[in-house]
Amino acid sequence: MLKLLRNSRVPRTHLPRCSRLWYISRPYSTPTASADTSIADPRTFQLHPSLIKRARLLSEELTALQEKISGGSSFSVSDQKRFSELSIITDTYTKYQDHLTNFQELQELFHDEQEPELKNEAEKELRELQPELTAVASDLKAKLLPPHPFDSMACILELRPGVGGDEAAIFSKDMLEMYSQFAHVKKWPYHIMSQVRTENNGITSATISIDEPGSYKLMKFERGIHRVQRIPETETKGRTHTSTAAVVVLPKISEDNENPDADQREFKPEEIRVDVMRSRGKGGQHVNTTDSAVRITHFPSGIVVAMQDERSQHRNKAKAFAILRARLAERERAEKVENERKMRTSQVSSTDRSDKIRTYNFTQNRITDHRCGFSLHDVGGCMNGTRLEEIILAVEKNYNEERSKELLEIEENSDKK
Amino acid sequence: MPRIPPSVFRQALRTDPLLVPLLPVTRSLSGAQAELRWLRKEVPKPKLPWAIVQRSNYRPLQYILGDQPFLDLSIKCAEGTLIPRWETEEWIARIKPFISNVKIIDACTGTGCVALSFNGTGSNIVGIDIDTSCLSLAKFNQQSNRCDDIVHWAQCDILNWTDDLHHVCKGVNFLVSNPPYIPWEEYTKLDRSVKNFEPQLALVGDLEFYNALVHNLLEPNLNTCDGFVFEVGNVNQIHHVRDLVKKHGWNVGYLMDSAGYHRCVVGWKPDGRFDFKKLCDFVY
């Protein structure tokens, strides 16, 4: 066994000197598998120099900030926030460095031919340390990636049935329940902003607002087309149908209870039109209508938002503006991403563009996410919100890997130029 | 009024049988669905059939549920008091940013919704109404919404100039009112839910109320009062108020509501603390 190990070790001299590929840690599937068979090269865990540089810069910023705060000259919430963010990253970085040096020292002992007893000990410790190091390395990498601009925000989910008629509407309803249950399990405050029911207890559209700041970070992976394969309640002959539901995730830019007039003032009057239901007769004291529907049209983007769930027109307007701003922000972000992508010569596959993202196969009791190939064999557990997080986390991990890869490619391209 | 097609009734029956009695009142399926949803949410289940029967007899939903959201407030509504309208909500939201630290008189306050909406501007607010039951409802609303600005209530008839009225209005800076403004000829043609359930006292009136507001409330306090906003029902009433205050050199304009009707007449002193020029949709 040991002999095999020794032979499999790549002699340092044979390594190409500045091959960047060696610095990229391998995709997340490797550590547990390789832990049993071989001891990895420490360079596998080394991060890309640009990431290390970023980590150093951040820890320098932390020291500067620390001095500023301890000086007591000024206190601001944003400083405090930044401080806690930085200290989390720096902690991970120090932990990572400790582990790495430890690992390298053990490796040297392991390859030291003179002392065979130490060698066994070292091997044992190496085996223990390896998965830990992998975890810390990937953790650090995720933290060092530039954060998504909306990650710290609350979010709004819009659900709409796709192909599949009644069954799609019923599945959308199930999805709505799944997300509310998920928010419940996570102890996130949420409320259903609007829903339009169909005759068969399905929905034609629904909006759910998850009010926890930072929920966008996880929920953003839910955007896309969700496919369901099952025997619908409406099916009489026992055939399996395939239908879809579309989910749009928007960052929550403004609160619902903010003043809609302040919102309205933010837009130019010619950009926006607010329609209300024209009541019969002359309005005012003449009519005591309960129809409080509001529709906002934003001309530059062609976005139309209608809201009719609240009894007060004022609140409907506030909600509609919240959704409008969220949609505009999301569109702006998507355009920015698209531009960045166009600028790059090499097209990289990413999570953002895939349309069908997940399949819920009820007959096989399986949920598969097509972006990372992760399968969960517990449809019930997912639909009641308890195990949805597992899937989302797998997607997130995959997303982080891909982003760091993209980042490296950009760096390499700019190096070549 | 156009007849509701039978197909809509059939569709309502298929969706939810409880929608059918609501349909003639709301006159649209989406309206009936919304009302049924609110009824289900707020009426306890044993009382739901009663509530639906009440509603199908054209009783206003706000009286059945007992309240109406108004800006950030929840206003209790009871028979004998006018239900707050969304048009009022709209113009108050527009005007509120202009107001701070003044003495406000709200004449014909009803549920008190107008007066209470100015809570938070640091103002001294007085709500006036002729009806004592309205005033007790207004007091209730003040407590249930925890309004911490200084709000007082006074029982006065603004149509007759009395010492009481004079005393209450002394030193007013800003005058608001939603007086009864439906002429008698129009009142007879109103919807059943308004005519049969809401108080005639709060609905029927015309120019005499604007005369009273100007002569009894505004003119005795011309040196302190810097502006007013009165809700109106038609453009005649705007012209009438304009002619009354133009002789004092005041600026006059009006506001439209989102449905496109003339809704408020606004007046302000040229060198006073308010400049409503930006607020108005039209300035004379």
pLDDT for B247 equals 87
Average pLDDT over residues B188-207: 91
CB B104 within 8 A of CB B228: no
CATH of the domain at A319: 3.30.160.20
Q: Is residue A20 scored above 50 in pLDDT?
A: no
Q: Which of B86, B206, B263 to mutate to test the interface with A (most CBs of A within 10 A)?
A: B86
The answer to whether residue A355 sits within a structural domain is no
pLDDT in tens, B76-123: 999 999 999 989 998 998 899 889 889 999 999 999 999 999 988 888
pLDDT for A334 equals 82
Q: Is residue B53 scored above 90 in pLDDT?
A: yes
pLDDT for A415 equals 62
The answer to whether residue A352 sits within a structural domain is no
CATH fold, domain B78-283, is Rossmann fold (3.40.50)
Average pLDDT over residues B56-83: 91
Q: Is residue A16 scored above 50 in pLDDT?
A: no
The verdict on A238 and A386 lying in the same domain is yes
Which chain A residue has its CA at the smallest distance from B58's CA? A288
The verdict on A386 and A325 lying in the same domain is no
Which chain A residue has its CA at the smallest distance from B35's CA? A290
A279 pLDDT band, cuts 50/70/90, is low
B260 pLDDT band, cuts 50/70/90, is confident
The verdict on A195 and A306 lying in the same domain is no
pLDDT in tens, A199-209: 888 898 899 99
Span of A28-37, A142-151, B13-22, B53-62 with lowest mean pLDDT: A28-37
Three-state secondary structure along chain B?
Answer: CCCCCHHHHHHHHHHCCCHHHHHHHHCCHHHHHHHHHHHHHHCCHHHHHHHHHHHHCCCCHHHHHCEEEECCEEEECCCCCCCCCHHHHHHHHHHHHHCCCCEEEEECCCCCHHHHHCCCCCCEEEEEECCHHHHHHHHHHHHHCCCCCEEEEEECCCCCCCHHHHHHHCCCCEEEECCCCECHHHHCCCCHHHHCCCCHHHCECCHHHHHHHHHHHHHHHCCCCCEEEEECCCHHHHHHHHHHHHCCCCEEEEEECCCCCEEEEEEECCCCCCCCCCCCCEEC
CB contact under 8 A, A311 and B60: no
Q: Is residue A336 scored above 50 in pLDDT?
A: yes
The answer to whether residue A353 sits within a structural domain is no
Which chain A residue has its CA at the smallest distance from B87's CA? A284
Which chain A residue has its CA at the smallest distance from B74's CA? A312
CB A251 within 8 A of CB A214: no
A44 pLDDT band, cuts 50/70/90, is low
Q: Which of A70, A126, A64 is nearest to A90 (CA)?
A: A64
pLDDT for A269 equals 75
Span of A24-38, A237-251, B46-60 with lowest mean pLDDT: A24-38
Phi, psi of B9 (to 5 degrees): -60, -40
The verdict on A134 and A197 lying in the same domain is no
Q: Which single residue is written with the structure tokens 């929840």?
A: B74
The answer to whether residue A368 sits within a structural domain is no
CA distance A120 to B244: 104
CB A155 within 8 A of CB A222: no
User: Which of A103, A120, A144 is at the close of a domain?
Assistant: A144
CB contact under 8 A, B31 and A291: yes
Rounded to a whole number, what is the largest CA-CA distance in chain A?
100
| Residue A312 DSSP class | -
Q: How far out from the chain centre does Cα A126 lie?
A: 33
- Residue ranges of chain B that CATH labels 3.40.50.150: 78-283
A356-361: strand order across its sheet:
A190-197, A203-210, A155-161, A241-251, A224-230, A356-361, A366-369, A374-376
CB contact under 8 A, A274 and B258: yes
CB contact under 8 A, B191 and A287: yes
For A93, A356, A405, B136, the CA distances from A383, given in Å and listed in that order, are: 37, 18, 32, 51
CA distance B282 to B284: 7
Q: Which single residue is written with the structure tokens 């390594």?
A: A15
Please report residues of A whose CB lies closer than 8 A to that of B203.
285
Q: Is residue B283 scored above 80 in pLDDT?
A: yes
CATH of the domain at A232: 3.30.70.1660
pLDDT for B275 equals 87
Which candidate from B28, B68, B231 shows the least CB-CB separation from A284? B231
CB contact under 8 A, A315 and B202: no
The verdict on A232 and A201 lying in the same domain is yes
Average pLDDT over residues A151-170: 87
The answer to whether residue A107 sits within a structural domain is yes
| Residue A269 DSSP class | T
pLDDT in tens, B209-251: 999 999 999 988 888 999 999 999 989 999 999 999 988 889 9
The percent of residues above 70 in pLDDT, for chain A, comes to 78
pLDDT for A211 equals 87
The verdict on A213 and A107 lying in the same domain is no
The verdict on A94 and A123 lying in the same domain is yes
Q: Which of A196, A290, A309 to mutate to test the interface with B (most CBs of B within 10 A)?
A: A290
pLDDT for A21 equals 40
Average pLDDT over chain B, rounded to an integer: 90
A107 pLDDT band, cuts 50/70/90, is confident
The verdict on A17 and A134 lying in the same domain is yes
Q: Is residue A29 scored above 50 in pLDDT?
A: no
For A218, A298, A307, the CA distances from A399, given in Å and listed in that order, are: 11, 33, 34
CA distance B47 to B51: 6
CB A297 within 8 A of CB A307: no
Torsional class of A385: left (φ above 0), alpha (ψ -120 to 50), beta (otherwise): left
Q: How far out from the chain centre does Cα A384 lie?
A: 20
Q: Which of B180, B119, B121, B129 is nearest to B151 (CA)?
A: B119
Average pLDDT over chain A, rounded to an integer: 77
Q: Is residue A24 scored above 70 in pLDDT?
A: no
How many other C-beta atoms are found inside a 10 Å radius of the C-beta of residue B221? 19
pLDDT for A68 equals 78
CB contact under 8 A, B85 and A284: yes
Q: Which of A194, A278, A311, A315 to mutate to test the interface with B (most CBs of B within 10 A)?
A: A311
Residue A94: domain span: 2-144
Which candidate from B1, B69, B87 shows the least CB-CB separation from A283? B87
What is the total count of domains within chain A?
3
Q: For B6, what's the count of Cα atoms within 13 Å in the CB-facing half-sphere?
A: 0
Q: Tokens at residue A337, please?
A: 């991403």
Q: Is residue A9 scored above 80 in pLDDT?
A: no
pLDDT for A308 equals 84
Which chain A residue has its CA at the smallest distance from B2's CA? A280
Please report residues of B whose CB lies closer than 8 A to that of A308.
30, 34
CA distance B39 to B47: 10
pLDDT for A234 equals 77
pLDDT in tens, A57-69: 888 888 888 887 7
The verdict on A246 and A385 lying in the same domain is yes
pLDDT for A345 equals 40
Average pLDDT over residues A333-355: 57
H helical segments located in A313-376? 313-343
The verdict on A137 and A160 lying in the same domain is no
B36 pLDDT band, cuts 50/70/90, is very high
The verdict on A40 and A69 lying in the same domain is yes
Q: Is residue A93 scored above 50 in pLDDT?
A: yes
pLDDT in tens, B112-153: 999 999 988 888 999 999 999 999 999 999 999 888 777 899
CA distance B48 to A355: 45
The verdict on A248 and A266 lying in the same domain is no
